[in-house]
Amino acid sequence: MTHSIQVKDLTLNFGAMSVLKNMNIDVAEGEFIVLLGPSGCGKSTLLNCLAGLLDITDGEIWIKGKNVTWAEPSDRGIGMVFQSYALYPQMTVRGNLSFGLKNAKMPKAEIDKRVARAAEILQIEPLLDRKPAALSGGQRQRVAIGRALVRDVDVFLFDEPLSNLDAKLRSELRVEIKRLHSRLNNTMVYVTHDQIEALTLADRIAVMRGGIIQQLAAPQEIYNRPSNLFVAGFIGSPSMNFLHGATVDGGAAFQFAGSKISLAGYEGGAILERSKAILGLRPEHLHIQDHAEPGLTIPAEVEIDEPMGADSLVWLEAEGGLQMSVRVPVERRMASGTKVHLKVDISKASIFDTGTEQRV
């Protein structure tokens, strides 16, 4: 496995404020990495550092085996797609696509060839002589992708490229970006705050907060085994249910209010006995049933159910007034006030230490 991008101990300070802290990422060739996080977590900043649009304070950036820490953006072998498309308004689509190539003093024949190829891949051939103002949002974003495409680079950087589009167009273009990736097999680094985009597109997701990567792993790994409380709460909609309690019996059970849940079958490290711990359960890893099973269920009372088309969300109140959500098949309607028992699938659960907030 060869490395396409290597970030070594990258640190960025704006004055006294530390924006990115000692970051290390290795991206394999052809890999699709998504940087995911809430606003202000530094994900776009990191992308700008990779592009060379921001000078970093410390560390190194290597792209394709070359140290490009201080190289100009255009010399790094990257193409970038921006949230606002950033098309040059006074140039036609063709002018937009060829501007970078003209700057590189490429012969005209080669420019025409590349523009034609990019236009063909993105199906924007009929638009080549239009100005950006005469294009729809989706078409504009296609042109913006085309501008990165003509550069024939190894690394694509996407800065929230779909955020300005409406929901339908967003899902269409999402699929198209995925198709583009499988066709070109470039390395792609993609910044987003939308977890659906992250989960569907990424080979690996880097979840960021406060300038620190919280977890860098495959989407399923992130979803099933979040490394800490923040990742667990950030990924998944609705969020994971968090039960605050303690691990007892030498780590064999979880004590939550009046219930004791057996932890047999938990996939993770040694649980040990902790006076304060959090049990994280995703809505789809709970099952509603009407009878109690000691060590496996939690009693709860139905508040409302929300049919969502494909499935239904049931909101319940568990012991101690805790709000919980459970995903059920849509046919199953629950009347408000029904007393039920929630069966826990402990093999899919996560336990966090309350102090360190790390997964056990």
Partner 1 sequence: MADATVNGPHANAAVSPRGAKPTRRLSGRNIMIYGTLAVVCLYYLLPLWVMVMTSLKGMPEVRLGNIFAPPLEMTFQPWVKAWAEACTGLNCDGLSRGFWNSVRITVPSVIVSIFVASVNGYALINWRFKGSEVFFTILIFGSFIPYQVMLYPMVVMLRELGLYGSLTGLVLVHTIFGMPILTLLFRNYFASMPEELFKAARVDGAGFWRIYFHIMLPMSLPIFVVALILQVTGIWNDFLFGVVFISKAENYPMTVQLNNIVNSVQGVKEYNVNMAATMLTGLVPLIIYFISGKLFVRGIAAGAVKG
The residues binding partner 1 (CB under 8 A) are 48, 51-53, 72-75, 78-80, 82-84, 86-90, 99-100, 103-104, 147, 151, 159
Contact 60, 110 (CB under 8 A): no
Q: How far is the CB of 73 from partner 1 (least distance, A)?
A: 5
Closer of 86 and 330 to partner 1 (Cβ): 86
Closer of 82 and 256 to partner 1 (Cβ): 82
Q: Where are the alpha helices (DSSP H) in 19-128?
A: 43-51, 93-103, 108-122
Closer of 104 and 264 to partner 1 (Cβ): 104
Q: How far is the CB of 144 from partner 1 (least distance, A)?
A: 8
d(CA 40, CA 228): 19
Closer of 52 and 211 to partner 1 (Cβ): 52
Q: How far is the CB of 100 from partner 1 (least distance, A)?
A: 3
Closer of 43 and 209 to partner 1 (Cβ): 43
Q: How far is the CB of 182 from partner 1 (least distance, A)?
A: 24
What is the sign of the dihedral through the CA atoms of 267, 269, 273 and 276?
negative
Q: Is the peptide bond before 238 cis (omega within 30 degrees of 0)?
A: yes
Closer of 84 and 185 to partner 1 (Cβ): 84
Closer of 84 and 356 to partner 1 (Cβ): 84
DSSP of 149-161: HTTT-SEEEEEST
Closer of 6 and 164 to partner 1 (Cβ): 164
Closer of 4 and 247 to partner 1 (Cβ): 4
d(CA 351, CA 244): 10
How many other C-beta atoms can be found within 10 angstroms of the C-beta atom of residue 161? 27
Q: How far is the CB of 104 from partner 1 (least distance, A)?
A: 6
d(CA 73, CA 81): 13
Q: How far is the CB of 106 from partner 1 (least distance, A)?
A: 10
Q: Which helix (H) or strand (E) is 17 found in, with range?
A: strand 17-28
Residues 6+ apart with CB under 8 A from 283: 236, 238, 240, 241, 313, 325, 326, 327
Residues 6+ apart with CB under 8 A from 252: 262, 263, 264, 271
Q: How far is the CB of 232 from partner 1 (least distance, A)?
A: 33
d(CA 26, CA 73): 20
Q: How far is the CB of 102 from partner 1 (least distance, A)?
A: 9
By CB neighbour count within 10 A (0-12 exposed, 13-18 middle, 19+ buried), where does 2 fall?
A: exposed
Q: How far is the CB of 126 from partner 1 (least distance, A)?
A: 23
Closer of 44 and 195 to partner 1 (Cβ): 44
Which strands form 350-353's sheet, in the order they lie side by side?
A: 259-262, 253-256, 241-248, 274-281, 350-353
Q: How far is the CB of 22 from partner 1 (least distance, A)?
A: 25
How many other C-beta atoms can be found within 10 angstroms of the C-beta atom of residue 3? 16
Tell me the chain's radius of gyration from C-alpha atoms.
Answer: 24
